């Protein structure tokens, strides 16, 4: 199990770096567009479509699993985990399983959309003709890795002794 966690962590770290790189690219492109409009009265034509189709989905999904692993995710807690006492590890596993099933569904549905876009060679015709398969790919990829992390944490032994958040 330790080798799987190391491998999963490396994949998560790599996707996180790609997601953060996408965020930096968004900032660079938006600022380049602002400066180009200000100084040369000419926008950077492709920046809006590139940000919308490729970079924003990458920012939103590629870091999901790494952020969850590090405990940096946002959560709304309306029930205090301590109220479950010794049942807390069981309740936590149920929560992880339900989340895993949800993200399995998201992975499957977005994966079908992505595979269909690749199979049909779908293109968004804009300033540049953007292949949509590559644009959609970050969603099933990020969600699939999060799904693996959720199911792995469900069966991992340290989950049993995990203290309430």
Return all residues near 122 (Cβ < 8 A) that are at least 6 apart: 116, 131, 132, 133
Residue 50 included in any domain: yes
Residue 164 pLDDT greater than 50, yes or no: no
Distances (CA, A) of 115 to 28, 100, 131, 132, 136: 30, 22, 12, 10, 9
Report the C-alpha gap between 50 and 63 in whole angstroms.
19
Domains: count for the chain: 1
pLDDT in tens, 68-88: 999 887 777 777 777 899 998
Q: Is residue 164 part of a domain?
A: no
Q: What is the pTM of this model?
A: 0.88
User: Does residue 17 fall inside a structural domain?
Assistant: yes
Q: Does residue 78 lie within any of the structural domains? A: no
Whether 28 is covered by a domain: the verdict is yes
Least confident of 81-85, 91-95, 99-103, 106-110: 81-85
- Percentage with pLDDT > 90 across the chain: 80
pLDDT at 100 over 60: yes
Specify if 77 maps to a domain. no
Is residue 60 domain-resident? yes
Report the relative pairing of strands 129-131 and 123-125 from DSSP bridges.
antiparallel
Helices 138-155 and 2-40: crossing angle in degrees, nearest 10, is 150
Whether 165 maps to a domain, the answer reads no
Could you tell me the two tokens for 100? 């895993």
Domain residues for the domain of 90 are 2-72+83-159
Three-class SS of 80-148: CHHHHHHHHHHHHHHHHHHHHHHHHHHHHHHHHHHHHHHHCCCEEECCCEEEHHHHHCHHHHHHHHHHH
pLDDT in tens, 56-71: 999 999 999 999 999 8
What's the count of helices (H) and strands (E) in the chain, helices before strands? Answer: 7, 2
Q: What is the pLDDT of residues 8-29, one digit of tens each?
A: 999 999 999 999 999 999 999 9
């Amino acid at each position: 199990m330790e080798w799987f966690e190391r491998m999963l962590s490396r994949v998560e770290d790599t996707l996180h770096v790609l997601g953060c790189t996408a965020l930096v690219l968004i900032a660079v492109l938006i600022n380049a567009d602002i400066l180009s409009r200000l100084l040369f009265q000419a926008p950077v034509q492709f920046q809006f479509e590139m940000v919308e189709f490729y970079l924003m989905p990458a920012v939103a999904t590629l870091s999901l699993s790494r952020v969850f692993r590090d405990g940096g995710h946002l959560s709304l807690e309306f029930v205090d985990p301590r109220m479950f006492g010794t049942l807390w590890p069981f309740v936590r596993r149920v929560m992880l399983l339900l989340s895993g099933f949800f993200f399995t569904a998201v992975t499957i549905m977005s994966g079908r959309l992505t595979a269909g876009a690749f199979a049909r060679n779908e293109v968004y015709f804009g300033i540049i003709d953007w292949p949509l398969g590559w644009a959609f790919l970050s969603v099933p990829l990020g969600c699939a890795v999060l799904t693996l992390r959720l199911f792995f944490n469900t069966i991992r032994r340290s989950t049993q002794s995990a203290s309430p958040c």
